[in-house]
Structure 1
């Protein structure tokens, strides 16, 4: 429960600064709104759309394969997951002689292989589960941010129909797991925001808000703890998870500052520094680090793990860090080897891939990723020559609008001070901006998988703004208080907004259906294959 400083009367000593005056041109306190209230309807919509997402992800999940073997980079991760399952929790990589990613993503793949064996269903099952859960999470997160089940449903529909997320949910690779953990951590922090505002509101009602100039302590924050665990799993899948650790820690502190300022705590900045900073570092930095270390349990437990006994062989026993246990020093050395491997995958070193892309193309998905292509002995298209392919394409009806959507989000964040857009921007920016720091290294569009849910959420918020608010009986649909004032009559404006939103969602769904054959390796004619390649950069 909520904690505060030592209890004493709310009336302050003579000469001390008292609470704000009882009258003001603006509200003295935020409205007591701590979450959506349509529980049954919210879950009915959520579960229905999640079922739709599951059907799309699981239909023919084991297809295609390369003669019953994995395709593309599944050839690394599916065998490594199987090695973990059968080899005491540790993997190797004969192709490189070095395992180049942390173990969590491969442990997830191993879970599916434990259930279904070494098959397409086995190494893709947990990816499909993860992609389905992402739809559920997006709906619940946007619903909570906007207090609107309808806007949450918009976000779920957009993510269901995103080609990049769809394809990534049907392959045994790592990025879908990182996207799930990052999105779930984001959702935990959104719930934590509401809970902390509810706690400080309770303290205010009890008359204890001004017991301390720093404001109340918030107490144990289990949702933030959960976010820390999930961020640790994201880092344990790919090292790029560290960027979201930084971004989400800053976002959580910003939420705390806004709550203290909203309830007129006398020294909100100092309150954050005194009350919130250390617990935030513990919950969103220390906990992720501990979870990341724990993910290497198999590496620590196995006698023949790569570089497990590097100390004394590749690293001397002495030195300034001789006090560190040899196992930890071995893991540090192993991490350095992995970093050296990734730093060597640069264009300047001659490492060019035909489907490589740079981050400036990811905003609109201008350079997709071809995972699978076959044009020999392919039948079923009704002609003598057929082809089939799996190409990860961000659905153009969604991704090609990224720049106007992000521009609107920036305006809403910095001009209108809309925290919802600002929070979504944190998730998006910390997923793409760091990749601009080293443009020489080899990159691919599937690195952008964690961006997809944040793009879908931003677009859903925009659709909510277009839709506006309900007629004067008056439940808001957009979730934005200032959207109440428009020149046209409310019902007419909402009718036009509903028309535009419906047309747009229909366009996204139609675009996804059109792409379906080249997202799922359906046999198509050569002419149809070329008709699906809309841009020269898609070829």
Structure 2
């Protein structure tokens, strides 16, 4: 396949602008409706405020996410808008970054745009973006780091090192939000090993001008990848701790890491939190998390909700916010990543068998090999480490891995739209429309809209 070096066409920029407006609108609409601390805002919003008031505190995570919340508070005040708007803005940019990754993988504007559309319809990403929580910051910096690495592969010499340095800064930032940001760095290392192994085992017959950026990953030296990049990341990570340690001098850098590690080892199982969920339940969306639940028996009851009054004849209305993915989109993405992993594994196994049998083989190259490899390896790097974690875990821990399921599903949909089979094209369009319909149906529990008990039970039954 020939890789175009031209920039995306005008229709792509119009489409991506519409996606961003869509994402911004749903994240900022009614951002301060719940005039109370929701879920872990009781920690993170207060911790962000503590930085501004110079109040000492202990936090079980690195400090960068709370710095960003503190910046929002400093600009807009310690109120629901002040400690949420920064997350809403960052969360709205994640579909754009994921689109940038998709474009760098195969230079197909249609694939990049479909990826952005699917990410904008992700209910869990929407909910996490509307509150002062940390997970959108992990995604923002981790995906940004991957995008920068892919861009660096289009350049040589000092330009490449400059892009890699920016990626190192972003890797350091994502780890400085939560340690599970390391999954993004692990994915890059595993991909480099695959690229090196493929180069040695299968060779490469393609001319450089026809190579995808990801195929150039093997050009990165071990010095660039294992010394230069992590040194920058580690430096940034250490620097970001300085304001926190200056304000909280009880522990030094080594001691605070010991305390954090000890805390996470003490976090127990299901008896500690009703919404703890095992890693194998996440791809099936079996246990969402209730972030807010309030029932009113009459319009006279005081509620922490800002907005139009309920109907005068209201008997019972429920305000409920669930951290849950868009059900149809989530399950379709799970099927897509499973099929991609099986298909990719089968393709590589076939190449290995032909190579061992001294039969003629094609090189491990091209979009059909490298794109599934990139998506599959990064998915596993961000998902499988949770298998060995004994502490209480939650559905939102799956979010870094779920970003790559969106890339997988978008790849299939884009291929289906390009086929000459009209039935396959219709299936792709139907899947997009049904994902949008599923998003709209679940909006009441994404945004916390007032619904009747019957409607609430129906939505809970669906998810």
**Which residue, 388, 393, 398 being the options, matches 2:329?**
398
Matches within 5 A, 1:66-465: 66=36, 70-87=37-54, 92-93=56-57, 98-193=58-153, 195-196=154-155, 199=156, 220-252=160-192, 254-255=194-195, 261-262=203-204, 276-302=221-247, 304-307=248-251, 330-347=252-269, 351-376=271-296, 379=299, 380=310, 383-416=314-347, 418-438=369-389, 440-465=390-415
Q: CA deviation at 1:422?
A: 1.4
Please state whether the residue corresponding to 2:292 is helix, strand or coil.
Answer: strand
CA distance in 1, matches of 2:44, 2:323: 18
Q: CA deviation at 1:257?
A: 7.0
Q: CA deviation at 1:236?
A: 0.2
| 1:63 alignment partner in structure 2 | 33
CA distance in 2, matches of 1:407, 1:394: 18
1:190-214 CA-partner distances (Å, limit 9, x unpaired)? 2223x15xx5xxxxxxxxxxxxxxx
CA distance in 2, matches of 1:378, 1:467: 50
CA distance in 2, matches of 1:361, 1:135: 25
1:24-65 CA-partner distances (Å, limit 9, x unpaired)? xxxxxx85x364533433322222211111111111111213
Is the CA contact (8 Å cut-off) linking 1:188 and 1:224 kept in structure 2? yes
Please state whether the residue corresponding to 1:78 is helix, strand or coil.
Answer: helix
| Unmatched tracts of structure 2, length 5 or more | 208-215, 300-309, 348-363
CA gap of 1:512–1:264, structure 2 versus 1, over 3 A, is closer
CA distance in 1, matches of 2:124, 2:261: 27
Is the counterpart of residue 527 in structure 1 residue 442 in structure 2? no
CA distance in 1, matches of 2:159, 2:443: 49
Please state whether the residue corresponding to 1:362 is helix, strand or coil.
Answer: helix
Q: CA deviation at 1:129?
A: 1.0
Please state whether the residue corresponding to 1:524 is helix, strand or coil.
Answer: coil
If the length of structure 1 is used for normalisation, what is the TM-score?
0.73
1:241-298 CA-partner distances (Å, limit 9, x unpaired)? 2232222133245457768953689xxxxx9999700111134321111111011120
Please state whether the residue corresponding to 2:38 is helix, strand or coil.
Answer: coil
Is the CA contact (8 Å cut-off) linking 2:297 and 2:315 kept in structure 1? no
Aligned residues: 422
Aligned-residue Cα RMSD (Å) equals 2.6
Is the CA contact (8 Å cut-off) linking 1:47 and 1:136 kept in structure 2? no
Q: CA deviation at 1:300?
A: 4.1
Is the CA contact (8 Å cut-off) linking 1:165 and 1:452 kept in structure 2? no
If the length of structure 2 is used for normalisation, what is the TM-score?
0.84
Higher mean C-alpha displacement, 239-248 vs 385-394: 239-248
